[in-house]
Chain A
Amino acid sequence: MSSFSVTRPQINTLYRSFIRYASEFEDYNFRHYFLRKYKTEFRKLKEENVKITPELWNSYQKELDVLKRQSAISKMYHFDRLVVERLDEKHHK
């Protein structure tokens, strides 16, 4: 029996972190992609009641680190908004 276990609140916290950093992307396409990706993935985790293994948990932590760094980099370089983006839209706090 493995002693590794992840509680539901821990997963929820992880999910909220993903959504937070994904929504901080300055780039419209990247922002929407990562939001879509993690919303879909976590919904699936919940629906299919996937067992969180230590490997899966660690890989999610690594992905979250990547997302933190890349969303920060994205904020350093500004490009014009796309024609489908509202100028007054605040996509991050």
Chain B
Amino acid sequence: MFRSQLIHRVLPANKHLLNLRSVSSTAFLSTSQSPISNASVKSTPIHSAAAAGAGAASANASSTIPQPPKGSSIEFKLSKRDPNQFGSRPIYLDMQATTPTDPRVLDKMLQFYTGLYGNPHSSTHAYGWETDKAIEEARTHVANLIHADPKEIIFTSGATECNNMALKGVARFYGKTKKHIITSQTEHKCVLDSCRRLQEEGFEITYLPVDKEGLINMEDLEKAIRKDTCLVSIMAVNNEIGVIQPLEEIGKLCRKNKVFFHTDAAQAYGKIPIDVNKLHIDLMSISSHKIYGPMGMGALYVRRRPRVRIEPIINGGGQERGLRSGTLAPPLVAGFGEAARLMASEYDADHAHILKLANKLMDNLLSIEHTQLNGSREQRFPGCVNVSFAYVEGESLLMALKDVALSSGSACTSASLEPSYVLHALGADDALAHSSIRFGIGRFTTEEEVDYVIDAITQRVNFLRELSPLYEMVKEGIDLNSIEWAGH
């Protein structure tokens, strides 16, 4: 236990470093600032960790890419190529945060920014009629993709608004007699936050746990449904780990118990086949910018038969069946409609392409030692691959990967260094949650990009591990859990 003793000795002087998690990350962060940067990394893991502490304390996580110490055998750049001959813009692999706008969508939208500027709700002249017609066409495209009736589509500003509208709308409409809502622990922040708000209004919320794979247990759900349950809200595809919940079973169970079923399908719409009638979905949130459409646009599917009633959040001129007042934005609506149409017409080609690239990425990343895939392997949307790299800090890896645009989880929480609550719900400990990275693959990702990312990740994970005193201990066969860390 020589090394752990050393750590004991070094650590108390650097109280901010006492956290096990930060050791590996900060070790790497500071190498460029470390006074011993000429020394070989391998022989002084503890010192570099300690020196790291000093660096990390002043830690505004420097934005330059840290370079390996001079004379080190570790090559940081991809060795096969001369970087001067290539561009500098990072590869985009964060498709769960947003997707690039398809040029065909932009082409549709431009008409409305150049000539067709009528208010679609102006029913007295041709300018209004032409934009109104375009909006109804878009509504049909959006509805067709989920086998719904166009009248059941309510355009909104995005999936967050939809989720607020569905949860608060249903709860407030039926709230006099039904005061209970069921959701899961891995929902998106806007569902969880809406639930918290409803809790303050006197509703009771059940947060269903998920298993190791990220899926809810149907028995738990059945037990949780009460006489006064008005709504079950379970997301279709998880935004961090990509698992697909058993929608059909949930839908059947809800229908049997006469409870409304809302699903947040921001990540699922157009990417997995969804039939709202077959799956018994009553409300569904859809986002446009996750399907190569414009940002600031979304839609809520609200079933008409049996009718789901919701209390509107935004009142006014009575547009969208009075459920969401306010003038619609024809460019965004038409762009969204075109994006939905393309999701349908390109489904087979996109699916085959994404599956091929995702499998290649997944197989190669998981062939690195001490890695694991988060979430179910079978029940998942292939375009979202979430992998944990043990003994490497996710944020450090992202910093070392300035040439690839990635995220360790939801964009909403990426500003904080909190570990992901979704991975926590799967039973992952802090260290594992901190070492996870999400890879998003889409229609426009190329095989060349995936190859580059595989090379870059493999190399830099190895590099960061070489710096990590923890990893060295693991290689020596020391069980990290057996170490008593000082200062806790």
Query: Which A residues fall within an 8 A CB radius of B?
Result: 25, 28-30, 32-33, 36-37, 40, 63, 66-67, 69-70, 73-74, 79-88
Q: Does the CB pair B87–A33 fall under 8 Å?
A: no
CB distance from A2 to the nearest CB of B (A): 24
Is B90 touching A82 in the complex (CB atoms < 8 A)?
Answer: yes
Please classify the interface of chain B as helix (H, G, I), strand (E, B), loop, or mixed, using the class held by over half of its residues: mixed
Q: B residues within 8 Å of A by Cβ?
A: 84-92, 100, 103-104, 106-107, 346, 349, 353, 403-404, 443-446, 448-449, 452
Tell me whether chain A's interface is mostly helix, strand or loop, or mixed.
helix
Please state if B91 and A83 are interface contacts (CB–CB under 8 Å).
yes
A85 touches B86 (CB 8 A): yes
Known: A66-B103, A86-B86, A88-B85. 7 other contacts (CB 8 A): A25-B103, A33-B443, A70-B107, A73-B106, A74-B103, A83-B88, A84-B86
Let me know if B104 and A84 touch, CB within 8 A. no
Cβ-defined contact, A87 with B86, below 8 A: yes
Q: Contact: B448 with A30, CB < 8 Å?
A: no
A86 CA / B100 CA spacing, docked (Å)? 22
CA distance A29 to B89 in the complex (A): 12
**Closest chain B CB from A40 CB (angstroms):** 7
Question: Which listed residue, B86, B104, B346, B444, touches A83 by the CB 8 Å rule?
Answer: B86
15 pairs from A and B in contact (CB 8 Å cutoff): A25-B103, A29-B446, A32-B446, A32-B448, A33-B443, A33-B446, A66-B104, A80-B88, A83-B86, A83-B88, A83-B403, A83-B452, A84-B91, A86-B86, A87-B86
> Nearest chain-B residue to A79 (Cβ)?
B89
Given contacts A81-B89, A82-B90, contact A29 B100 (CB under 8 A): yes
Expressed in whole angstroms, the minimum distance between the Cβ of B356 and any Cβ of chain A is 12
CA separation between A58 and B84, bound complex, in Å? 45
- Chain B residues with CB below 8 A from A80, complex form: 87-89
Tell me the complex Cα distance, A79–B107, Å.
20
B87 touches A83 (CB 8 A): yes
Report whether A29 and B86 are in contact in the complex, using a CB–CB cutoff of 8 Å. no
A70 — which chain B residues lie within 8 A by C-beta? Answer: 103-104, 106-107
Q: Which residues of B contact A37 (CB under 8 A)?
A: 346, 349
Q: Are A82 and B89 neighbours in the complex by a CB distance under 8 Å?
A: yes
A69 to chain B: which residues have CB within 8 Å? 107
Quick check: A81 and B86 within 8 Å, CB to CB? yes
Q: Which residues of chain A come closer than 8 Å to B106, judged between CB atoms?
A: 70, 73
Report B-chain residues with C-beta under 8 Å of the C-beta of A86.
Answer: 85-86
CB distance from B207 to the nearest CB of A (A): 39
Complex: A29 Cα to B85 Cα, angstroms: 19
CB-defined contacts of B107 to chain A, threshold 8 Å: 66, 69-70
The 3 residue pairs across chains A and B that have the minimum distance between CB atoms: A81-B87, A70-B103, A29-B444
Whether the pair A82, B87 counts as a contact (CB closer than 8 A) is yes
B443: min CB distance to chain A, Å: 6
How far apart are A83's CB and chain B's nearest CB, in angstroms?
5
Closest to A67 in B: B103
| Residue with the highest number of chain A CB atoms closer than 10 Å, among B88, B103, B346 | B103
Contact assessment for B85 and A87 in the assembled complex, using a CB-CB cutoff below 8 Å: yes
Residues of B close to A84: CB separation below 8 A: 86-87, 91, 446, 448-449, 452
